[in-house]
Chain A
């Protein structure tokens, strides 16, 4: 079972990266101390449980959930839209979430309300794109209509977001909005994290369960239908799950680009094109990648670097490499 062993290797890699990440920081803890604390439950160092449980573990869980969520929905969207250049925000979830959060920040709402507005904004944007594409009608290429609707809605919410930034107080609100849009795990708190993780699971589990059918969907509307799939329902279900997964993580950690685009490619390289293997591998690789990037973000410099900046700096050259490789062979 090549597939299962690959998934186990990826899982082991995630665990390894996580243990290392827990140890790295302003208050270094050796992996040995972490393991002995995990096994015995006690530690000579009084601060160790506080640092690990109170500070680093929530952040670790958020990075795992966000990296996994973005990569999983990226892989699902690339299959759904039959296009390996698609990222999870193709239908406008990021700009919708950004707009919702900015609106919340502008009205000085509490953090939880900003997050709720971000979630609502992201889901609204995607639903708007789906409704617009339905209204345009049953064209023979409904996937194309959907993508174009997503681009329109995305740029509309982008413009509204610019408007909010324009009218925001430049000393106080504007920096908050800008910082939110960069994406960070610095302000993760356990309460909201629990809700977001629950929503990620609620979307990710169905996506993993239908992963085999995503293969069939990637053959396009009519072909998938002739193979016996209820393509309309199936596509809507995948979009809703992927949106829930993405929007719930964006709402607590801001917009983190590139991960959902690039990680599915690395995973396809490891696992092959079959979504049955690709989807779980994408989740695990994305999670490990995000943990590693966040560890760098919080420990490389004396001030924390927003994680979205690092993913973009890493993602852009990688994407160029993908394009070069794609001229040689298929995905």
Chain B
């Protein structure tokens, strides 16, 4: 148990918020390498607060938030970046860096103050591009990529940090349908490489596709933490989103059966 805790992200009875005011209270969450935890909740439920705390931007008001067995507030940005990487929502960049450069920026936590990336860093970056199957983009300007390509590049950058955990903020939200599925598949592959993943999403289907566990943020609490099948029932989805949703299993027609959501619209 001690060993498991040393290798995981562990939040214990934590109150999280700003300026002494807790936005989330009594938060308990543990993420082990190889797990995918999907975080669901409405906008403003405290997802950003949770992420910011886990990344060390803000200190927990009470309780404990530990990364690989050490309190996050005692870690330097560099130490945190070696334990957990972060994939923000897609955005535009003011400068036209090449894709290779962007992925190399993920190596910052492994470089000295005055250093620039060396041959080992270039090798890691190339491997990350390969793993995400975007090596052909290497010399393209990041700004000129499509949304799906950009998302893959930013995931490659996070991967280049060689951190055991990755936090993704709605990685599939602004993508077209095919790219959503591609990103979810890649995230499953990353978990297969023993990376522990916390992923925020607005789509319960994403949780059915990828998650080993689901955590739900609502009313200032993190209620969790069960399998997607146990957590995402028509009742909880109605409670969470205020709409009727049918939940059922796909038939076995050559592919493995999987649970899906179908919102009721009439």
Contacts and interface: CB of A to CB of B under 8 A. Distances in A.
Contacts of B108: 213, 216, 227-229
A272 B114 contact: no
A235 interface: no
B81 A228 contact: yes
Contacts, number: 89
A124 interface: no
Contacts of B93: 218-219, 330
Interface residues of A, dominant DSSP: loop
Contact of A228 (B82, B95, B143): B82
A20 B80 CA distance: 54
Given A213-B113, A274-B101, A331 B94 contact: yes
Contact of A212 (B81, B82, B115, B143): B115
A213 B81 CA distance: 15
B17 to A, nearest CB: 13
A273 B95 contact: yes
A212 B116 contact: yes
B96 A230 contact: no
Interface string B77-94: 110111001101000011
Contacts of B157: 227
A227 B106 contact: yes
A210 B81 contact: no
Contact of A330 (B56, B80, B116, B144): B144
B77 A228 contact: yes
B76 A230 contact: yes
A304 interface: no
Nearest to A227: B108
B222 interface: no
Contact of B77 (A212, A230, A268, A273): A230
A79 B101 CA distance: 15
B109 interface: yes
A155 interface: no
A331 B56 CA distance: 32
Contacts of A225: 55-57, 77
Contacts of A84: 94-95
A224 to B, nearest CB: 8
Given A218-B95, A222-B88, A227 B114 contact: no
A216 B95 CA distance: 11
A209 interface: yes
Interface string A143-158: 0000000000000000
A190 interface: no
15 contacts: A84-B94, A213-B113, A215-B97, A215-B105, A225-B55, A226-B86, A226-B88, A227-B106, A227-B108, A227-B157, A228-B78, A228-B80, A228-B81, A229-B77, A330-B93
8 tightest A-B CB contacts, nearest first:
A228-B109, A228-B81, A226-B86, A273-B95, A212-B116, A330-B143, A209-B114, A228-B78
Interface of A: 79, 82-84, 209-210, 212-213, 215-216, 218-219, 222-223, 225-231, 268, 272-274, 276, 329-331
